[in-house]
Amino acid sequence: MSVLTRDEAQTRAQLIDVSRYTIALDLTTGDETFGSRTVIRFTTRADADTFVEIKPAQLHSVTLDGQPLDPETLDGNRLPLKNLTTGEHELRVEATMRYSRTGEGMHRFTDPSDGETYVYTQLFMDDVQRVFAAFDQPDLKSVFELSVQAPDGWKVLANGVTEHTGDGVWTAAPTPLISTYLVAVAAGPWHSVTTEHRGLPFGIHCRRSLAPYLDADADELFEITRQCYDRYHEKFSEPYPFDSYDQAFVPEFNAGAMENPGLVTFRDEFVYRSAVTDTERQTRAMVIAHEMAHMWFGDLVTLRWWDDIWLNESFAEYMGYQTLTEATRFTDTWTDFGVVRKGWGYDADQRPSTHPVAPEAVHDTASALLNFDGISYAKGASALRQLVAWLGEKDFLAGINTHFERHRFGNATLADFIDSLAAHTDRDVHAWADAWLRTTGVDTLTPRVTPGTDGTCTLQVERTGSRPHHITVGLYDLDIADERRRLVLRERIAVDVPQSEPQPIGKRPALLLLNDGDLSYAKVRFDPESFEGVRTALSGLPEPLSRAVVWNALRDAVRDGELPGTAYLETARTHLPYETDLALVQGVLSFADAQIANRYLTPEQRPAALTLVAALCRDLIRRTEDGDHPGLRLIAVRHLIEVSAHPEPIASWLADGTVPGGPELDQELRWRILSRLAVLGATDEATIDAELERDPSATGQEGAARCRAALPNPEAKARAWEAMFGGDDLSNYLLTATAQGFWQPEQAELVQQYVPRFYADAVAVAARRGPAIADVLGRWAFPVHAVDEETLRLGEECLRDGEPIPALRRKLVDQLDDLGRALRVRQQTRES
């Protein structure tokens, strides 16, 4: 299949305008395929040749201006349109299309709980071609008219309000001008809850088997939706541009969500079947806010080409966190951003695959797909947060609204956006964009404190990197009035880096914290006195966002080999028992377990590290015995399960159905315990089968696949490997679950023979099954536990000679860079 290049897209955009698609889909033709009929009305500006894209199972007929074309001329995914004359044209295409099990195109899913079937589209980038014929590029916007023939008892959702017109046919209201990748359909026997807000229909939808869980959270979901909707209308002069707002929670979804106008699709794990923390509810709320922001950033005004993906994702990311903080009960969202998203961005920006937030040019759609990463999301949002701090929110919002006004229902570029901002400020926004959006890498800020003769000090911030930073520096004094050391904020001072001269800071503080408030994007370091303040009094720092900056700095120092992983663990052991912010507890424990214990420390050091983490979790469980902190207790219980080196006490918990003192084990905790027992060799196939009978849901199927792959015997490993790499039957989610269970540090010797097999097998499967499966293989099936030179050598050989498809190549590049970093950290640990 040919990918679309930037040059081809520009040529086609100069040649044609597309006015309307009329699409009829028939979902009643069987389990494997569906019918697709498309009428495209377009105009050419000159006599020329062009092409339309489609990826059919069978192409039945093609008619251009009433004259039949030969379907055999289809070349891969390109149907040539020869000798077009200047003026209006009508193209008719009839085809049979394949359903997907990979979350791309038209995904089909049958719920094992009740046998009901659901389909939905995910047409991002170039997957619209899997559903209907299209001039598939973002700057050829059009009106879309859609009808769907569906089985009896099904409901059809789409971008516009849908109506059942009889005989199983559903018709959607025509859309405004939107891009091809934003067309959406979701069909099946949905359970729906509806309401209305400010005259606009709101709906939430899920599989029938999840109905009780959606109903339990419906008030919260609608409240968040209304609050974000109202806040965006306070910020933006352009009103919501579509006729309804549906949110469908769909099965086996690859992303967190997709911003289809009028029909946002979410992964249905956001319909919680089991207990979750308030931070997890906040994450769901942020995704709602993020996707709603896309109605303006991406849907109303769309990028012209994929080099400006940041105009979609960075803005939605920034607006999602900021609006949630301003409009909902979740007022500490930037702490979660600092803990989870900033690390994602920092890690991506230090790998060989890094790229600017706004690259100069993205050659083709395959290259563009690789840029949906921590840079386009987290770094871009951080850059915007820094821009707002530097520019001021009033001028920033004024520029945004000018941008909407100039480009509504059209397309725009970085240059267009910067021009809109520049119209409202005297600051040099173009220079800011060059420094922040066109460069790569993470700057590092280090404080140098110089004492004066009068007992006061000055601060000079040294910068490794090139970007200007407008930061806040927190000066904290030590209070040891009781048994705990506390850090009391003396003042915060604004500093522009690079500095023109040293900044007076008065007497020497116990902690000098650069980037306090986390308004910039940079790694920060501590001077020796401040590090001592962190080591002894971190938990006494008063604000969670400040503590997030400190924990991130410690994390970065471990990854850079400047702080031993054992020192990080000791700091966690000392201070995490006093932590109140759930995002921080979750983030620190995850880094301690998944990265330090499993990768940065040697196998000989790992047992002691896991023992320390387990002791820390038990401290947190004891602290929460009063029942006042259920979220904190849940996090501690989950992590204690993950690091348990022996079957007890978790096997007793499973038998009893509860953790002593709570919580009672819901299905998520039961599968989590059973998975760990499988790793430890303390369960068997019969027990897994019994648990699956207890929970035959889709989540239960995934849990069982994960447990079976984790069993420590050669037969189980061979079956799991064959399921992942020997055939193409596993869906994207079941493949993920199997891969998650397969590699375990405790089983390194047992799975050693599979490490060299991974590369060739992954290359072959990715080539057959495409980018979504390549992403799963590169993320979850990679042997991350195998931190050794031979694994690195084999990976580099694969990149050199194995010809992985771009999506898998990008994942391997990232995994091998992380592997090389882990090897360097281990070496530095040995030398120290």
Q: What is the pLDDT of residues 651-708, one digit of tens each?
A: 999 999 999 999 999 999 999 999 999 999 999 999 999 999 999 999 999 999 999 9
- What's the distance, CA 708 to chain centroid? 27
- pLDDT band at residue 361 under the 50/70/90 scheme: confident
Q: Round the average pLDDT of the chain to a whole number and report it.
A: 97
Q: Which of 94, 252, 291, 317 is catalytic?
A: 291
- pLDDT band at residue 828 under the 50/70/90 scheme: confident
Which residues on neighbouring strands pair with residue 205, listed in sequence order? 192, 248
Q: Taking a C-beta distance cutoff of 8 angstroms, is the pair 343, 551 a contact?
A: no
Does the annotation mark 223 as catalytic? no
Global pTM value: 0.97
Does residue 830 carry a pLDDT above 80? no
C-alpha span between 262 and 78 (Å, rounded): 30
Among residues 412, 23, 19, 404, the alpha carbon closest in space to that of 241 is found at: 404
**What is the tens place of the pLDDT at every residue in 273-310?**
999 999 999 999 999 999 999 999 999 999 999 999 99
Question: What integer pLDDT is reported at residue 1 of this predicted model?
Answer: 67
Does residue 832 carry a pLDDT above 70? no
- pLDDT band at residue 481 under the 50/70/90 scheme: low
Does residue 484 carry a pLDDT above 80? no
C-alpha span between 457 and 435 (Å, rounded): 31
> For a pLDDT cut of 90, what percent of the chain falls above it?
97
Question: What integer pLDDT is reported at residue 482 of this predicted model?
Answer: 63
Q: Is 206 exposed, middle or buried (0-12, 13-18, 19+ CB in 10 A)?
A: buried
As its CATH architecture, domain 1-189 has Sandwich (2.60)
Contacts 24+ apart (CB under 8 A), 724-729: 724/761, 724/765, 724/777, 724/781, 725/757, 725/761, 725/762, 725/764, 725/765, 728/765, 728/768, 728/769
Q: What mean pLDDT do residues 786-808 have?
A: 97
Q: How many helices and strands, by DSSP H and E, does the chain display?
A: 28, 28
457-464 β-sheet, strand order: 503-506, 457-464, 444-451, 523-524
Residues whose CB falls within 8 Å of the CB of residue 481, separated by 6 or more in sequence, listed in order: none
Q: Taking a C-beta distance cutoff of 8 angstroms, is the pair 609, 592 a contact?
A: yes
- pLDDT band at residue 95 under the 50/70/90 scheme: very high
Q: What mean pLDDT do residues 315-336 have?
A: 97
- pLDDT band at residue 210 under the 50/70/90 scheme: very high
Structure tokens, 327: 């409009």
* Amino acid identity for residue 697 in this structure: S
Tell me which CATH code domain 193-432 carries. Answer: 1.10.390.10
Q: Taking a C-beta distance cutoff of 8 angstroms, is the pair 154, 189 a contact?
A: yes
CA dihedral 684→687→693→699, nearest 10 degrees, is: -60
Query: Checking DSSP bridges between strand 105-110 and strand 117-122, what pairing results, if any?
Result: antiparallel
Does residue 483 carry a pLDDT above 90? no
Q: Taking a C-beta distance cutoff of 8 angstroms, is the pair 405, 241 a contact?
A: no
- pLDDT band at residue 250 under the 50/70/90 scheme: very high
**Tokens 């995850």 identify what position?**
590
> For a pLDDT cut of 70, what percent of the chain falls above it?
99
Does residue 480 carry a pLDDT above 80? no
Among residues 181, 154, 214, the alpha carbon closest in space to that of 21 is found at: 181
Pick the residue with more confidence: 18 or 626?
A: 18
- pLDDT band at residue 143 under the 50/70/90 scheme: very high
**What is the tens place of the pLDDT at every residue in 425-473?**
999 999 999 999 999 999 999 999 999 989 899 999 999 999 999 999 9
